[in-house]
Amino acid sequence: MPLKKSWVTSANDAHHPFPLNNLPYGVFSTGGGRARCGVAIGDMILDLQAAEEAGVVRLGTEPFFEMPFWNEFMEEGPAVWAALRDRLTTLLQDGAQDQKKVEPLLVPTKDAELHMPFMVSEYTDFYAGRHHATNVGTMFRGAENALPPNWLHIPIGYNGRASSVVVSGTEVRRPWGQVRGPDDETPRWAPCTRFDIELEMGAIVGTPSERPITVQEADDHIFGYVLLNDWSARDIQAWEYQPLGPFQSKATATSISPWIVTKAALEPFRCSTPAREVELLDHLEDCGPMLYDIDLSVSLRPDGGAEETLARTNYREMYYSAAQQLAHHTTSGCPMNAGDLLGSGTISGPNKNERGSLLELSWGGKDPITLASGATRSFIEDGDTLTLTGAARGDGYTIGFGECTGKVTPALADPYAR
């Protein structure tokens, strides 16, 4: 499918993240005003609340876009999702009849502040990247036992905290926690010294479910995708994670990119999961291409320094798709809601410069990376800004996500000091 041409000319640049083919959904405000729903087109945001008030967009009888989040719309399901996308395409395409009516409803993105695009109802994070799990397992348990025995049979995960999910741009405070390193005779209370990123994609559930669903149904229920950085305190994690998994090490913050890129926009980029090493049980088997060819990168900018890319990878490196993860999530009868967020797990490629965490890039701190300035990094230092980007590359156009960025600020004074 080629570029769909828009009368918003900035959207027609082959490298612009928000062409008419994309139409990602967000929540924005201007001049400290009320937050409202919008759709990105080129360098502009179409104000959907205003579009609804002007009668240019109408979905049924009730207004949809009064609330500053997309949950109610997501809950409506695929027919309504398609109706809005069709309407927006008609309004914004080159030669649109209603161009004069729509022009006053556009806001320059540079004048807008972006907010959380949806209310996160629950958040689950998986561990479903083969190269990441192999790297981390090798570091912690040796190459022979790298993958846990369940890993090739189910996408393993843990229940995270919806309350900790923040939008790109939010600063992240270095946490304190209980740690016990190999040289510590007893546990210590200290600021985290091994603070890390995890480069992931987040899948957002649109259609609710209350029973076990198939992989195909799960794919139908997913509304869209965001970039996701699962900030991780490795020293806290190493001490706390057995046997129930990570807890406080993952509860400081999880950042997401501000625009929901819909599944519809990603359709041309579908690709299959890698070959199965062992056959999955029937209910988890692939039933079509359910991953996406999305180039991903992570960069680091030291305080006052220059930004540089640390790693590049691709979403197709995942072993399990989001649809398989969602299907597995429902097998117990676990209810899923609109706004449920599923983290893919860290996405690393097979090569060293394709690793999606500093833990892997510095091999647990044993092999620090050297920045262009000559400075080295094993883990994040105070003042570092970490940024994820993602792009699916089409025929003369790009589907971008907007960046997922966060600056790490120093730990506060001991919150328990007396």
Smaller CB distance to Mn ion: residue 230 or 340?
230
Near Mn ion by CB under 5 A, which window of 159-167, 227-235, 262-270, 277-285?
227-235
Number of residues that bind Mn ion (CB under 5 A): 3
Q: Which of 15, 115, 131, 132 is catalytic?
A: 132
Smaller CB distance to Mn ion: residue 52 or 125?
125
How many Å apart are CA 411 and CA 253, to the nearest integer?
14
Q: Is 360 in the site for Mn ion (CB under 5 A)?
A: no
Binding mask 181-220 for Mn ion (x = CB under 5 A): -----------------x----------------------
* Shortest CB 105 distance to Mn ion, Å: 38
Smaller CB distance to Mn ion: residue 122 or 198?
198
Q: Which residues on neighbouring strands pair with residue 37, listed in sequence order?
A: 27
Footprint of Mn ion on 6-35 (CB under 5 A): none
Smaller CB distance to Mn ion: residue 78 or 245?
245
Q: Which of 382, 230, 386 is nearest to 307 (CA)?
A: 386
Is-contact 116 71, C-beta < 8 A?
no
Smaller CB distance to Mn ion: residue 230 or 235?
230
Binding mask 96-125 for Mn ion (x = CB under 5 A): -----------------------------x
Report the residue closest to Mn ion, judged by CB: 230
Q: Which residues on neighbouring strands pair with residue 179, listed in sequence order?
A: 188
Is-contact 407 302, C-beta < 8 A?
no
Smaller CB distance to Mn ion: residue 12 or 232?
232
Footprint of Mn ion on 117-176 (CB under 5 A): 125
Q: Is 230 in the site for Mn ion (CB under 5 A)?
A: yes
Is-contact 270 394, C-beta < 8 A?
no
Q: Which of 229, 231, 270 is nearest to 251 (CA)?
A: 231
* Shortest CB 247 distance to Mn ion, Å: 13
* Separation in Å, CA 202 to CA 36, 95, 278: 22, 35, 26
Provide the CA 241 distance to its chain's centre, in angstroms.
23
- How wide is the angle at C-alpha 107 spanned by C-alphas 201 and 32, nearest 5°? 85
Number of residues that this document lists for the chain = 418
* Shortest CB 232 distance to Mn ion, Å: 7
Q: Which residue has the tokens 């730990």?
A: 411
Q: Is 340 in the site for Mn ion (CB under 5 A)?
A: no
Q: Which residues on neighbouring strands pair with residue 106, listed in sequence order?
A: 46
132 included as an active-site residue: yes
The C-alpha torsion from 361 through 135 and 402 to 228, rounded to 10°, is -120
* H or E, element range at 179: strand 176-179
> Which residue type sits at 262?
T
Q: Which residues on neighbouring strands pair with residue 127, listed in sequence order?
A: none
* Shortest CB 317 distance to Mn ion, Å: 15
* Shortest CB 345 distance to Mn ion, Å: 6
Smaller CB distance to Mn ion: residue 49 or 313?
313
* Shortest CB 48 distance to Mn ion, Å: 32
> Which residue type sits at 32?
G
* Shortest CB 292 distance to Mn ion, Å: 19
What are the residues binding Mn ion (CB under 5 A)?
125, 198, 230
Q: Tell me which residues are annotated as active site.
A: 132
